[in-house]
Chain A
Amino acid sequence: MFAKKHLAALAISSIGLIGLPAFASDYTIDTKGAHASINFSIQHLGYSVLTGRFDTFAGDFSYDPAKLEASKVSVTIDTNSVNSNHAERDKHLRSPDFLNVDKFPKATFVSKNVVVGADKSSFDLVGDFTLNGVTKSITIAAKKVGEGKDPWVKDGYRAGFEGTTELKLKDFNVKMDLGPASQVVKLQLHVEGIKK
């Protein structure tokens, strides 16, 4: 009896060790319900912080709570949707001085690997970010916010994450120079995924 119990426990734990890919689920980022946002912030003159966001984007991710390091994310941003709540500034942001949206209407992020932190819930999401025609490897410091049953869909399931990263404007060929305090833009990402 005792041995049997042990055996069963061993069998169960070994499943965890093998980490069957079948446990990873695919999620669609809930942009339709606007439970996701891509916000940015940048110093203004070094005196304050200006914030804005991209209104339109889409993406999905695959996530297995037992095997966080196998997670994958891909997101496509419509650069035309840059919104800082100021018509002329947004027009300027779309122009070749900044995002060059006529030439590069899409920005993309595709994850390459995940480095799980010591606390097992935060992780570094490393991937290729393409903006303004430039592709660079970036690292998003991310963590899970929560997950659980979808209250509105039978057998539905939702999982959400947040993350931050920083980009040097010059790295992505942004022509406009906003001054020494404004060389880096921070991104704040909030995503909620609906299990497919």
Chain B
Amino acid sequence: MLKDSKSGYGLVTIILHWVCAPLIIFLFGLGVYMRGLDYYSPWYHRGPELHIALGLLVFVLMFLRLLWRKGSKDPDAISTISKSNLLAAKIVKVLLYVCVFIICLSGYFITTAEGAGASFFEIFSVPATVELSAKNVDLMGAIHKYCAWGLMGIVILHAAAALFHHFIKRDKTLVRMLKPATLTPTDTTD
């Protein structure tokens, strides 16, 4: 099934999740790597160009995820998971989204601070909207960096929880994000 249902996630949610997750982690690694590059490294310009293009892609995908999520049914909670754990999981998910959007926007503001657009592999360019002062660009830089490190901390929590549920609690938490739900009688056909 493409759409989410009470019994679990649909194919669209699952694909978007597994496209975004490695992309975001790769962007983090690329960001750290490219900042330390020697001026004469072949990646000195290629790195930031790729970082900006994939950053734009992540923004679009995450925006689609948000829309898809808003328009979908939430799957029923797994009955063996406590209310406090469900709440923790929910907070972590909200933080994942919030961090990613803050990082995308601050990155966009850094790149476009002096009026040049953010280029997607030179296919198209997202134009600048506001020009920022030097101080504010540097502030955006700090936000971009610390939110990225914070995001990786949250990612580790999120992944550790998924593995904990799979291998220790042996419930369907991780499987639900791997295998699309099939229609069950409890689902209405909408």
Give A contacts to B, CB under 8 Å: 80-82, 85-88, 90-91, 94, 101-102, 176-179
Contact = CB atoms under 8 A, between A and B. Distances in A.
Nearest to B141: A91
A86 B134 contact: no
Contacts of B40: 179
A94 B116 CA distance: 19
B39 interface: yes
Interface in B109-141: 110-114, 116, 134-135, 137-138, 141
A86 B135 contact: no
B116 A177 contact: no
A91 B114 CA distance: 11
B31 interface: no
A20 to B, nearest CB: 45
Contact of B135 (A80, A82, A177, A178): A80
Contacts of A81: 134
Given A81-B134, A87-B137, A91-B141, A179 B39 contact: yes
Interface residues of B, number: 14
Contacts, number: 37
Contacts of A87: 110-114, 116, 137
B39 A91 contact: no
Nearest to B38: A177
Given A80-B134, A81-B134, A90 B39 contact: no
B110 A91 contact: yes
Contacts of B114: 85-87, 90
B138 A178 contact: no
Contacts of A178: 39
Given A177-B39, A179-B39, A91 B137 contact: yes
Given A90-B114, A101-B134, 12 more contacts: A80-B135, A85-B114, A87-B111, A87-B114, A90-B134, A91-B113, A91-B134, A91-B141, A94-B138, A102-B138, A177-B39, A179-B40
B39 A86 contact: no
A91 B111 CA distance: 10
Most chain A CB inside 10 Å of its own CB: which residue of B134, B137, B138: B134
19 contacts: A80-B135, A82-B134, A87-B111, A87-B112, A87-B116, A87-B137, A88-B48, A88-B110, A90-B134, A91-B110, A91-B113, A91-B134, A91-B138, A91-B141, A94-B134, A101-B134, A102-B138, A176-B39, A179-B39
Closest 4 pairs between A and B when the two form their complex, measured CB to CB: A87-B113, A87-B114, A80-B134, A91-B137
A88 B111 contact: yes
A94 B136 CA distance: 12
A171 B59 CA distance: 43
Interface string B134-160: 110110010000000000000000000
Contacts of B135: 80
Contacts of B113: 87, 90-91
A86 B48 CA distance: 13
Most chain A CB inside 10 Å of its own CB: which residue of B113, B114, B137: B114
Nearest to A177: B39
Most chain A CB inside 10 Å of its own CB: which residue of B40, B116, B138: B138
Contacts of B138: 91, 94, 101-102
A56 B114 CA distance: 16
